[in-house]
Amino acid sequence: MYVCLCHAITDSQIKQAVGQGDASLADVKKRLGVASQCGKCARMATQIIQNQLEIE
């Protein structure tokens, strides 16, 4: 599922980034560029990151 349409970033990519050590939106933003354009995906991306951190 696409989370960030501006950069075509999927939830899987975000989960993978967390698996590689990212622990915040700022980290994933740096790695993938998520939420660096319109910012509409920031809330959903943050939720995915938090859920993933709880699972790991």
Q: Does 5 bind ligand FES (CB under 6 A)?
A: yes
Q: How many residues bind ligand FES (CB under 6 A)?
A: 12
Q: Which residues are 2's β-sheet partners?
A: 10
**In this structure, is the dihedral angle defined by the CA atoms of residues 52, 36, 39 and 12, taken in order, positive or negative?**
negative
Report the nearest approach of ligand FES to the CB of residue 34 (Å).
Answer: 6
How does DSSP assign 11-47, residue by residue? HHHHHHHHHTT--SHHHHHHHH-TTSSS-TTHHHHHH
Is 20 an interacting residue with respect to ligand FES (CB under 6 A)? no
Judged by CB, which is closer to ligand FES: 46, or 56?
46
Instruction: Output 30 or 40, the one with its CB closest to ligand FES.
Output: 40
